[in-house]
Amino acid sequence: METEQITEKSPEIKLNENNHSKSCETKGKKGKKKFGREKKSKDDRPKDPYQPIIRDNQTLTKYYKEQNLLSEEEYEKFMNTLTLDLPTAFRVNSCTPERHKVNERIQQFIKDLRTSGVEEAHLPKEVEWMPYTYTMSVSRNDVRSHPLLKSFHNFLVNEAEVGHISRQELVSMIPPLLMELESDHNVLDMCAAPGSKTQQIIEKLHANTDNPEGLVVANDADYQRCHLLVHQTLKRMPSACTVVINEDASIMPKMIGPDGGPLYFDRILCDVICSGDGTFRKNLGMWKDWSPLKAISLHKLQVSIARRGLELLKEGGLMVYSTCSLNPIEDEAVLAYLLQMFDGSVELVDVSDKLVGLKRSPGVNTWKVFDRDMNEYSKYEDVPDFLKTAIKPSYFPPPEEVCKNLHLNRSFRVFPHQQNTGGFFIAVLKKITKVDGSSTNYVSRNVGKVIKSCKRFSYRDDPFIFINNMDEDIKNISTCYGIDFSKFKWSNLLTRSVKESNKKGIYYANDRLKSFLQKNEKIVKLVNGGLKLFNRCDKVGACRYRLMHDGMRMVKNIVTQRIIEVPLSDLVKILHGKDGAANIPLEELDSEKVIRDLKAGSLVIMADVGNGIKIPICAWCGEKTVSPFICKEERIHILRLLGEDISQMELDRETKRREKGVKRFVDENKIDEEVVKAKESKIEETN
C-alpha cells in the first residue's frame, strides 16, 4: 500500500529539564552546539520558586477521558494516582558477584525498620515480576526524621554510586527485559542518556561472562548528555564491549561491521523522545505546561527514529519501541504507520506471557485526534488547511479491517494506578525480511559524511589509538604483572592520546568494539569506549602503570603476578586504614611477608568472603604500608557486607559532600560562607 513519507522536521518543543524527552531533543544537524546551560532572563525565572504546584490540568483530564483507554471506574483511579508522589524503585545489579549478600543486607534493613516501628506502607516491597527489585514510598521528611531510614537511604546512595544498585523508575526497567539479550548480540540503544536502560543491557551481556563477544552502541543526540551517560553507566558498569556515540537517531548513518559490510544489530532499544505524560508523578512542572500539542509536535520525529531503527535491525532481530507517554499519537499511531510502511516485513510480537505478574493494558485500535485547543478531528480530511502541516494522516487510526492485521493489541501500556508506578508504553517488533532503506548504499552515505568530517567534527574528543606493536610500556606491564596473553590480546589495547609521551590510560576493547572504533571513526562521532585497565603512575614502583579497579572484572583473570590472596581479617584492616589514614602498616597484617616480598607498586589483593565469593581490590604496596586503590564508596560497600562498623566512614563522606555543596553554593552565588554555615547549623538543630 502507499504510505505518506514523513520528511518534515518536527517543530522544536521544550520540555521539563528532567523529562525523558530531553534525551534526543537538543541535537541539530546544523548550527553551533551549546555546551552550557542557557541562562534564563530574569523575567523567565519563577517569581516564587517555593510556590506549591497545583496537580490539576483540565485539558489533560478531558483529553484522556475522551480517548476511552480505561473504563469510568479505572479512569478515576488513574487520575487520582497521577496526583500522588511516585514511589522510589531500585534493583540490585545482576552482575554484582556478591548480589545475594547485597540482597541479604536489604532484607536485614527491612527487618530492622519493621522492628523499629516504621509503618508497613513505608517499608521496601519486593517486585513480583522482577527479582532483586524493590519499591518504597517514603518522603524526604520521613527519611530525615528517622535514623534507620536515613541509614538505609545512605546505603542506597552509596551502592548506586559504585554500581551495585540502580535507582531507576520501575516501569523504565521493562524494555530491556523484553529484548531477549545474549552475550554475543550487537545491540543499539538509540536514545540512551541518562543510561539506566543501557546499564541493564550491559548487565545482560555480562550475565554469564566477564568478557562478552557482543557490542553495545549507546547513542544520544545531546553531547552533554553523552558524557552524563558515560558517568552514570560506564563508570558504574565498566565494559570492554560498549561505546558511546553522539548522533541524531532519526538520521543515524549506516555503520560498518567487522567484515567491511554494513553493520546490522541483533537488538535495538528505541526509547524515543516523547511528551512524557506518563511521568506526571515525578515531573510536577508538567501539570502546568501539558497540552496535546506536545504529542503532535513529536510524532513525526518518533516515526523517523523508529523507522531508522528498523532499517538498522538485522533480519530476525527484535526492536523494542517504548515511550514514557500514554498518548496514542506517540504510541499506536507510530506503530500503525511503521507496520503499514513496511507491509509484512515487520510484525509486532506477542509478549503477554512475559514478566508474569506485571499488570498491563493491551494496545488499542482506535483513538481520537485533537489540536492544541481540544478541537477533535475524526479524519484527516476534517483538518483545516492551516493545520495540515502539523497534523498528518498518520496521526489517525487506520480503518478497522487494516487494524485487525496490525495486531496493535500486542503492544501494551502500564498505567500508574495498576501497580503504583509511572506510565509507560512498550511494543516489541520483529524484522521478518529486509525493509526498504536497509539496502541503501552505505558507501555513498558514508563518503558524504567523511567529506564533511572536518567541518562536522570540528570539536572532537580524544582519538582512539590502538597499540600496533609491543612497545616498552606494554612489555613493562607484561613483565611486571605476568599478563597471560592466551586469555588476552595485547593488540586490543588502546590509548586516547596520539603522542607517546602523553599516553596515560590504557584501555581494552573486545574484537567487535575494536573493529567498530577503527572502521567508524569518521562515520559517527565517538565519545567514549573501552575498559580502562592501566593508568600511568609517577610513583616509584615495579611498573610505570598501576592497575585500575574499573577493569578488575578482566584484570583478575589475566594477571598472574602481583596478585595475592590474604586472610579476610587483613582485607578488613586494609579497607579500614588506620587512625583516619587510608593506609595501614604492613607489620599489622598477617600477610606482611607475602606483601613485603613484592616490590613497591600496584597489586591485586583478594580475600574469600564465603559462599565461594572472592572479592578482589586494587591496592598500592609501599615500603612500610599498604593502601587500597579504590574509592571510599567501594570500601564502604565491602565493609558493610562483611558486617563492619562504617559509621565513621559514612560520617566523613557526608561531611565532605556537605562541604563541597557549601563551597559550590558560595561560588555560584558569591555570598558569605559564614552565613551559609550558620544557616546550615540551624537546619541541623531543627532536624
Chain mean position to CA 71: 35
Backbone angles phi, psi at 443, to 5 degrees: -65, -45
Instruction: Give yes or no for a cis peptide into 194 (omega within 30° of 0).
Output: yes
- Is residue 192 a known part of a binding site? yes
The residue from 226, 324, 543, 618 that is catalytic is 324
Q: From start to end of 175-231, where are the E strands?
A: 186-189, 215-219
Residue with grid cell 541503501, as numbered in its chain: 440
- Is residue 48 a known part of a binding site? no
Determine contact, residues 413/407, Cβ cutoff 8 Å. no
Cβ neighbour number for residue 341 with a 10 Å cutoff: 22
Concatenated DSSP letters of 56-121: --HHHHHHHHHHT-S-HHHHHHHHHHHTSPPPEEEEE-TT-TTHHHHHHHHHHHHHHHHHTT--GG
Cβ burial 414-431 (10 Å sphere, 16+ → b, else e): bbbbbbebbbbbbbbbeb
- Is residue 191 a known part of a binding site? yes
Bridge partners of 627, per DSSP, are 620
CA distances from 367 to 73, 231, 341, 429, 447 (A): 19, 40, 20, 21, 43
- Is residue 652 a known part of a binding site? no
Lateral strand order in the sheet of 88-92: 125-126, 133-136, 88-92, 165-167
- Is residue 196 a known part of a binding site? yes
Concatenated DSSP letters of 29-54: SSS----SPPPPPGGGS-S-TTSPPP
Determine contact, residues 242/203, Cβ cutoff 8 Å. no
Concatenated DSSP letters of 501-570: GG--EEEE--HHHHHHHHHHTTTS-EEEESEEEEEE--S-SSSSEEE-GGGHHHHHHHB-SSEEE--HHH
- Is residue 193 a known part of a binding site? yes
Chain mean position to CA 409: 29
Distance CA 316, CA 456 (A): 34
- Is residue 607 a known part of a binding site? no
- Is residue 471 a known part of a binding site? no
- Is residue 194 a known part of a binding site? yes
CA distances from 47 to 44, 50, 51, 474, 668 (A): 9, 9, 9, 60, 20
Distance CA 216, CA 204 (A): 11
CA end-to-end span of the chain: 67
The most distant pair of C-alpha atoms in the chain lies apart, rounded to whole Å, by 86
C-alpha neighbours within 13 Å on the C-beta side of residue 262: 19
Is position 403 annotated as part of the catalytic site?
no
- Is residue 197 a known part of a binding site? yes
CA 244, 250, 254, 258 torsion-angle sign = positive
CA 129, 132, 138, 139 torsion-angle sign = negative
The binding site comprises 191-197, 220, 248, 271
Catalytic (active-site) positions: 324
